[in-house]
Amino acid sequence: MDRIRIVGGRPLHGAIPISGAKNAALPLMIAGLLTEETLILDNVPRLADVAQLQRILGNHGVDILVPGKKKGATVDDGQTLHISAAKIIDTTAPYELVSKMRASFWVVAPLVARMGEAKVSMPGGCAIGTRPVDLLIMALEQLGATIEIEGGYVIARAKNGLKGGEVVFPKVTVGGTHTALMAAALANGTSVIENAAREPEIVDVADCLNKMGAKITGAGTSRIVVEGVPRLKGARHSVLPDRIETGTYAMAVAMTGGDVMLQGARPELLQAALDVLVKSGAQVSVTNEGIRVSRNGGGLAPVDVTTAPFPEFPTDLQAQLMALMTRARGTSHITETIFENRFMHVQELARLGAQIRLEGQTALIEGVEKLKGAPVMATDLRASVSLVIAALAAEGETMVNRVYHLDRGFERLEDKLGRCGADVSRISG
C-alpha cells in the first residue's frame, strides 16, 4: 500500500486548483440511473470513490464513457463522464460492491423509481460511526415503496411506480435528502421534503435533476417541493467545486504560513469555516480567481467550534481544524455533533506531539509549541488528511500510511501541495 512522506516546516506559496466535489459527483453519477438518455458530467474529480462507483453502476448495466484528453487540457481539468443507463439489466447492488463505499447505497432510490424494484446491500457501519439507513428507508416508504429487509439486503418495491408524499426528516440527513429527491423526481404527484439537508451538494444535484426535466423547487432551504414527472431526459452538468478540499488546503496554509490562491473555490460554500480561519489568525480574501488564504508571522489563536449541518461548520472539516489547533496559543474546544465516533485522528495527532483530551463529544486541544514527525495512519479520509496538515508543520519526517483513504477524497494531494513548496512525496508499495 502506498505511503506519503512529508518533511514539515515549509510555508506554502502558490496556487492550488480546486477539484469538483466528491460528495456532489457521487450522487450526480447515481442520478444517471434515472434516465435512459445520456447524462454528461463535467469537472468530475479523479478519485478512488468515483472509480468505485463507476464499477457499481457498471454492474447495473450503465455504460460510462470517458472521452480522451482535449487540446489544451491540463491535469488540473476534471474529467468528463458520459453516463448512459439506456438499459438497466440488474437491479441488485451486491454486498461486495456496496460495502466498499456507503454512498453507493443511494442507488436504491433511482432503481426503485425507474424500475419498480431494487435490492441493495445494507452498507453497514464504518470507521466514523454506525451510520444507519433508517431515514432513507422511511423516505422511500413515504413515497410509496414497500420495504423488506432480508439477508442483509434492503429490497424496495413499487410495482406501479412511486407516489408523491410528505417526507419529514426528524434529523438532517444528506443521504436521506438525496434519496428523497431522486425518488420524488419520478414519483406520480407532488412531494414535500421537510427538514431537508441544505448542503450545497444537494443544490447541485437538484440543479442537475432540473436540467434533466425534474420539477424541484426549494433546494438549499429546509423545505423542498418536487412535482414528479413520468420520465427524465439527458443533460449536461458541471460538478461544483469541492468545499471540503478548499477548507482543507485553507487550513494547511493557516498551519504552515504562506500565501496560496485556491483557484475556483467559492466562499459561499464554506463561509462558516472561513470565518473560523479568520478568527484563528489567517487572512482570507476573495477574488475572481478564487479564495486567497495567507498567514504571515503572527501565531494562531484558539477557537471554539461545533460541527452542524450546512451552513454551520462541517463535520468533514472537523479533523483538519483540530490539526490546525494543535499549534494554537491556548486551548480550543471542538464539538462533533454529526457522527458519534469521528475522533480517530486524536490518537494519531498525539503521536506527533499534540495534546488533546476528549470529554464526550468535545475535544479540548491544548496548543503546543512544536509537533514532531512520526509514522501515523488513519482509517477515514478526513482523519488522514488532518495528519497531513499536522505533518506539514511538524519537525522532521512523517510517514502517513494507508494512503488509500486519501485517494478516496483528495485528487493528486502530493502534487498540489508539492507545487506550493511542501516536501511531500508518495512512496509506492
Scanning 74-82, 127-135, 141-149, 324-332 for contacts with ligand EPU by CB under 6 A, the matching segment is: 127-135
Q: Which of residues 285-304 bind ligand EPU (CB under 6 A)?
A: none
In the bound complex, what is the minimum distance in angstroms from residue 224's beta carbon to ligand EPU? Answer: 15
Q: Check binding of 175 to ligand EPU (CB under 6 A).
A: yes
Q: Check binding of 176 to ligand EPU (CB under 6 A).
A: yes
Q: Check binding of 132 to ligand EPU (CB under 6 A).
A: yes
Q: Check binding of 53 to ligand EPU (CB under 6 A).
A: no
Q: Rank residues 291 and 381 by Cβ distance to ligand EPU and give the closer one.
A: 381
Q: Rank residues 106 and 371 by Cβ distance to ligand EPU and give the closer one.
A: 106
Rounded to the nearest 10 degrees, the angle between the axes of helix 381-393 and helix 318-325 is 20
- Our answer to whether residue 208 is catalytic in this structure is no
In the bound complex, what is the minimum distance in angstroms from residue 26's beta carbon to ligand EPU? Answer: 5
> Per-residue x/- marks for ligand EPU, 381-400, CB under 6 A?
xx------------------
Q: Rank residues 17 and 176 by Cβ distance to ligand EPU and give the closer one.
A: 176
Give me 39's grid cell.
Answer: 447524462
Q: Check binding of 125 to ligand EPU (CB under 6 A).
A: no
Q: Which of residues 73-112 bind ligand EPU (CB under 6 A)?
A: 102-103
Scanning 133-141, 152-160, 362-370, 396-404 for contacts with ligand EPU by CB under 6 A, the matching segment is: 133-141
Q: Rank residues 175 and 264 by Cβ distance to ligand EPU and give the closer one.
A: 175
Q: Rank residues 104 and 401 by Cβ distance to ligand EPU and give the closer one.
A: 104
Q: Rank residues 176 and 290 by Cβ distance to ligand EPU and give the closer one.
A: 176
- Residue 262 contacts residue 250 (beta carbons within 8 Å): yes
In the bound complex, what is the minimum distance in angstroms from residue 174's beta carbon to ligand EPU? Answer: 4
Q: How far apart are CA 201 and CA 84, in angstroms?
A: 22
Q: How far apart are CA 369 and CA 244, in angstroms?
A: 27
Q: Please select the residue that binds ligand EPU; options are 90, 96, 134, 166, rule is CB under 6 A.
A: 134
Secondary structure of the chain in HEC code, one letter for each residue? CCEEEEECCCCEEEEEECCECHHHHHHHHHHHHHCCCEEEEEEECCCHHHHHHHHHHHHCCCEEECCCCCCCCCCCCCEEEEEECCCCCCCEECHHHHCCCHHHHHHHHHHHHHHCEEEEECCCCECCECCCCHHHHHHHHHCCCEEEEECCEEEEECCCCCECCEEECCCCCHHHHHHHHHHHHCCECEEEEECCCCCHHHHHHHHHHHHCCCEEECECECEEEEECCCCCCCEEEECCECHHHHHHHHHHHHHHCEEEEEECCCHHHCHHHHHHHHHHCCEEEECCCEEEEEECCCCCCCCEEEECCCCCECHHHHHHHHHHHCCCCCEEEEECCCCCCCCCHHHHHHHCCCEEEEECCEEEEECCCCCECCEEECCCHHHHHHHHHHHHHCECEEEEECCHHHHHHCCCHHHHHHCCCCEEEEECC
Q: How far apart are CA 129 and CA 171, in angstroms?
A: 16
Tell me which of 15, 115, 122, 126 is the catalytic residue.
126
Q: Check binding of 305 to ligand EPU (CB under 6 A).
A: no
Scanning 4-12, 174-182, 254-262, 291-299 for contacts with ligand EPU by CB under 6 A, the matching segment is: 174-182
Binding-site size for ligand EPU (CB under 6 A) equals 23
Q: Please select the residue that binds ligand EPU; options are 88, 208, 338, 391, rule is CB under 6 A.
A: 338
Give strand pairing partners of 292. 261, 285
Q: Check binding of 123 to ligand EPU (CB under 6 A).
A: no
In the bound complex, what is the minimum distance in angstroms from residue 178's beta carbon to ligand EPU? Answer: 7
Q: Check binding of 131 to ligand EPU (CB under 6 A).
A: yes
Q: Check binding of 136 to ligand EPU (CB under 6 A).
A: yes
In the bound complex, what is the minimum distance in angstroms from residue 72's beta carbon to ligand EPU? Answer: 31
Scanning 124-132, 144-152, 269-277, 317-325 for contacts with ligand EPU by CB under 6 A, the matching segment is: 124-132
- Residue 348 contacts residue 383 (beta carbons within 8 Å): yes
Which residues lie near ligand EPU (CB under 6 A)? Answer: 23, 26, 102-103, 129, 131-136, 171, 173-176, 315-316, 338-339, 381-382, 409
Active site residues: 126
